[in-house]
Amino acid sequence: MVSSKPSNKKAFKENRNFNFILILLCLLLVFLGKLDLIAMRNIKAFLFDFWAPVTDVVNKPIKDIAVIFEDVKSTGSLREQNLKLKNENRKLKALNIKAKNQEKELLELRELLNLLPKFKNKIVTGRAVTAPGGVFANTVLINAGRDYGIQIGQPAISSLGLVGYVVNVGLKTSRILLTIDINSMIPVYFNESNWPAVAKGNNGELLEIKFLSSDALLIEGETVETSGHGGRLPPGINVGKVVKGFSGEFYIKPSVDFQRMTYLSIITNKEKISGNYKTFQGFAPLQKPKPSFVFKGLDSSGTRQKGSEN
């Protein structure tokens, strides 16, 4: 197994040639892996399952030390944090009352429109086995797999919002591709400016905005949710907020703190709320009008309104 010493010139040359051949073989393997063959995926899933307990055992002490470090670090700013939390609590109390009123109004409007009910999500929660940091990939391994009904493509969430989606499933483990990964693309919707787009990861802290209409005028600080386009991810999951970069370009800052993920939930399937909604009766919801300047007495299309003639 140990290669010969460099002093032996012939052996050194042979060794170097072998090294070159292996590099070429690896390159071939890389491009084969990109083809996303089912056999390759299965091998990976098996190896994840096999190595997960070992990784878990080796990572545990380091993870515990990291937690102690973070705790010690946070004790220095306890007073500051306490004041901040008190302020936040006061604001949240006011918001809670407002939200309750709006929820009541929303339910009444839903009933009036005879709107189709929302799907009830079934959630499976697993513990993160690995840390998310990486130069070329941002993924997390969790200790729940096919035996809990997890499948490829299902979204992973935390209490703060969307974390990513499942890309590989073993019997006991699942690999989650984080939204910040370069291979991640999420169909999103901007809540205030009402535009759909795609949020693309870049292995950095922010998400790039792709396929956004050239007419779109984004608002800094507006919330971004999953749009549900394509049917892979359910709509309405919080993704993050719009932020402006140094170059004046807009980005999305994920709401999830990827460093503090201990447990992740996977939305495994949807259970429909019982009830017969086939006989749909009611008014179709109006589309939001285009914000345009309208003269008094004219409608948005520019024609004179009937009432204005009198």
Partner 1 sequence: MTKYNNLIYFFYSLSTSFFFFILLFLLINFEKALGFFSIFNSSTPSLVSIVIYLCIRKLNFTPSNTLMLILGILNDIMASVNLGVSSIFFLLIKLLTENLSSLNLDNNSQQSWFSFTIIFSLSIFAIVLINIVINLSIPDINPLLFHIGTTLILFPIINLAIDLIFFISKLIKTNP
Closest to partner 1 by CB, 16 or 86: 16
Calculate helix-pair angle for 38-75, 78-113, nearest 10 degrees. 130
Decide the pairing of beta strands 195-200 and 185-190: antiparallel
Q: How far apart are CA 196 and CA 242, in angstroms?
A: 13
- Contacts with partner 1, 188-227, as mask; x by CB under 8 A: --------------xxxx----------------------
Structure tokens that stand for 29 in this block: 């393997």
Q: Tell me the number of residues near partner 1 by CB under 8 A.
A: 61
Closest to partner 1 by CB, 177 or 224: 177
CB atoms within 10 A of CB 123: 10
- Give the residue among 247, 172, 165, 174 at the shortest CA–CA distance from 199: 165
Closest to partner 1 by CB, 130 or 227: 130
Q: How far apart are CA 258 and CA 181, in angstroms?
A: 11
Residue with tokens 């590989």: 168
Structure tokens that stand for 88 in this block: 């936040």
Closest to partner 1 by CB, 71 or 80: 71
Helix (H, G, I), strand (E, B) or coil at 238: strand
Contact 153, 185 (CB under 8 A): no
- Contacts with partner 1, 110-149, as mask; x by CB under 8 A: --------------------xxxxxxxx-x-x--------
Closest to partner 1 by CB, 200 or 226: 200
- Sequence letter at residue 122: K
Taking only Cα atoms into account, the Rg of the chain, rounded to an integer number of angstroms, comes to 26
Ramachandran angles phi, psi of 64, nearest 5°: -65, -40
Contact 142, 56 (CB under 8 A): no
Closest to partner 1 by CB, 178 or 189: 178
- Work out whether 182 is an interface residue with partner 1 (CB under 8 A): yes
Q: Give the nearest distance from C-beta 183 to partner 1 in angstroms.
A: 6
- Work out whether 30 is an interface residue with partner 1 (CB under 8 A): yes
- Work out whether 85 is an interface residue with partner 1 (CB under 8 A): no
- Contacts with partner 1, 242-281, as mask; x by CB under 8 A: -----------------x----------------------
Q: Give the nearest distance from C-beta 85 to partner 1 in angstroms.
A: 20
Q: Residue from 154, 168, 226, 255 that binds partner 1 (CB under 8 A)?
A: 168
H/E run at residue 33: helix 9-34
Residues at the contact surface with partner 1, assessed by CB under 8 A = 1-6, 12, 15-16, 18-20, 22-23, 25-34, 40, 44, 47-48, 51, 54-55, 58-59, 62-63, 66-67, 69-70, 73, 130-137, 139, 141, 167-168, 175, 177, 182-183, 202-205, 259
